[in-house]
């Protein structure tokens, strides 16, 4: 089969063996797979993978690693020890988790024994599989995982009425957080990003106030929205019980998390969804202000499947995030182009692209 694989640090379209499903696994044909910043992190920072003791990611430079963990696919065949309740030919998806026959748990697309959707065929674990309808665009169904991240983080923070959210970074995860916050009923959502195109899209998706952080500090805009009061009184207003800040950090850029800790008001909660490969946190300032930081950890399976239901029902629609669809012949170049902040929010390859 054809696949865009990572081998010896080089990404290219190659002919590779079609994977064979093992016990509990299913061979699927890729219908659509989107490019995520996590793919770039995996490629560019093998040292982070080597330091990961969970075994969910594997650095294997001498083997073909086929990335791609945002996908919609079609069942082709089943491996041994499977129940086979979903008929061959059915559209499916699953969280990007793979249970290997050897007992390991992998992230799909981040290990040689867990090939992902950047190939014409890949493997999924039957235990996680869910059927999909035939009447929705495949690229829309491929973005369930991206939306699930925002749904997970906003579940952790959006239920408190005394907090006003600030979303920093308006890539796919930041925009999914904006969508999820409004879906969950947040009255005011502030969003910050240098890109005017991304700020405009955030407004279309429900953000109440957008700001270019190069022109106005993000927390200054947040104070205007949350308190309608000047900066010099903000600490006193928190002490008197005025709204507090929930920050959704979705940039993945080193140094942003540290700046948020230094600049945020007291009692801020920061949900670090961006996941910079390396960062330094000013812990003394975090202690002084009582900052609570949630590092990753999601989406949980329940959040993932709930997001799937919301997308299928139309309550969450990722279509505005899809900027371009390509064929597998153009996927290598598209992965490189997706690094740019000027690139579409999501580029997907499809079997008909």
Q: Are residues 127 and 260 in the same domain?
A: no
Tell me, yes or no, whether 137 lies in a domain: yes
pLDDT: which is higher, 54 or 67: 67
Does a structural domain hold residue 100? yes
- Same-domain check for residues 11 and 98: yes
Q: Are strands 2-7 and 10-15 parallel, antiparallel or unpaired?
A: antiparallel
CB 142 within 8 A of CB 33: yes
Tell whether the model's pLDDT for residue 238 goes beyond 60.
no
Residue 221 lies in a domain: yes
If one counts the domains in the chain, the total is 2
Q: What is the mean pLDDT of residues 72-86?
A: 98
How far apart are alpha carbons 178 and 157 in whole angstroms? Answer: 12
| Cβ-based neighbour number of residue 312 at 10 Å | 17
Q: Domain range spanning residue 281?
A: 145-295
Contact in structure between 307 and 148 (CB atoms under 8 Å): yes
Instruction: Give pLDDT, residue 230.
Output: 52
User: Which residues are bridge partners to 7 per DSSP?
Assistant: 10
Mean pLDDT value across residues 13-27:
98
Quick one: the chain helix, strand, coil %, rounded to 5? 30, 25, 45
At 145 the three-state DSSP class reads helix
Give tens-digit pLDDT for 138-195.
999 999 999 999 999 999 886 566 789 999 999 999 999 999 999 999 989 999 999 9
Q: What is the CATH number of the domain that holds 8?
A: 3.90.180.10
63 and 51 in a common domain: yes
What CATH number does the domain containing 157 carry? 3.40.50.720
Query: Do 15 and 29 share a domain, yes or no?
Result: yes
Q: How confident is the model at residue 53 (pLDDT cuts 50, 70, 90)?
A: confident
Q: Is the peptide bond before 353 cis (omega within 30 degrees of 0)?
A: no
Asked whether residue 309 is assigned to any structural domain, the reply reads: no
* pLDDT tens digits, 245-302: 999 999 988 899 999 999 999 999 999 998 777 788 899 999 999 999 998 877 999 9
Residue 301 lies in a domain: no
* The pLDDT of residue 112 is above 90: yes
Over its C-alpha atoms, the chain yields an Rg (Å, rounded) of: 21
Q: Tell me whether residue 17 is in a domain.
A: yes
Please report whether residue 152 resides in a domain: yes
Q: How far apart are CA 137 and CA 131, in angstroms?
A: 14
Task: Give the bridge partners for 124, in sequence order.
Answer: 26
Interatomic CA distance for residues 26 and 74, integer angstroms:
10
Quote the pTM value: 0.91
Report the pLDDT value the prediction gives residue 56, as an integer from 0 to 100.
92
Tens-digit pLDDT profile for residues 91-101: 999 999 999 99
State how far the Cα of 58 lies from the Cα of 48, in Å rounded to an integer: 10
């Amino acid at each position: 089969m054809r696949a865009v694989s990572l081998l010896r640090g080089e990404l290219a379209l190659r002919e590779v063996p079609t994977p064979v499903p093992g016990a509990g696994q299913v061979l699927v044909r890729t219908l659509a797979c989107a490019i995520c910043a996590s793919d770039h992190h995996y490629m560019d920072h093998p040292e982070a993978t080597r330091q990961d003791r969970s075994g969910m990611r594997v650095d294997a430079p001498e083997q073909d690693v086929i990335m791609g963990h945002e996908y919609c696919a079609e069942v082709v065949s089943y491996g041994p020890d499977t129940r086979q309740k979903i008929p061959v030919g059915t559209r499916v998806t699953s969280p990007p988790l793979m249970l290997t026959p050897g007992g390991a748990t992998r992230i799909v697309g981040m290990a040689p024994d867990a090939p992902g959707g950047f190939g014409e065929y890949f493997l999924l674990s039957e235990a996680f599989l869910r059927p999909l309808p035939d009447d929705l665009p495949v690229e829309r169904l491929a973005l369930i995982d991206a939306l699930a991240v925002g749904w997970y983080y906003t579940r952790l923070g959006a239920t408190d009425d005394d907090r006003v959210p600030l979303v920093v970074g308006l890539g796919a995860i930041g925009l999914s957080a904006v969508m999820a916050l409004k879906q969950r009923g947040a009255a005011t959502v502030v969003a910050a990003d240098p890109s005017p195109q991304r700020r405009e899209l955030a407004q279309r998706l429900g953000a109440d106030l957008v700001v270019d952080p190069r022109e106005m500090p993000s927390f200054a805009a947040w104070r205007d929205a949350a308190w309608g009061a000047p900066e010099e009184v903000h600490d006193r207003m928190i002490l008197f019980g005025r709204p507090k800040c929930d920050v959704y950090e979705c940039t993945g850029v080193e140094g942003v998390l540290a700046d948020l800790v230094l600049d945020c008001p007291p009692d801020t909660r920061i949900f670090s969804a961006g996941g910079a490969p390396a960062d330094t946190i000013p812990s003394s300032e975090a202690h002084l202000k009582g900052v609570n930081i949630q590092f990753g950890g999601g989406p949980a399976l329940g959040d993932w499947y709930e997001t799937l239901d919301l997308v299928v029902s139309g309550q969450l629609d990722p279509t505005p995030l899809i900027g371009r669809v390509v064929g597998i012949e153009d996927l290598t170049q598209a992965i490189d182009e997706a690094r740019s902040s000027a690139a579409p929010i999501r580029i997907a390859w499809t079997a008909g692209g």
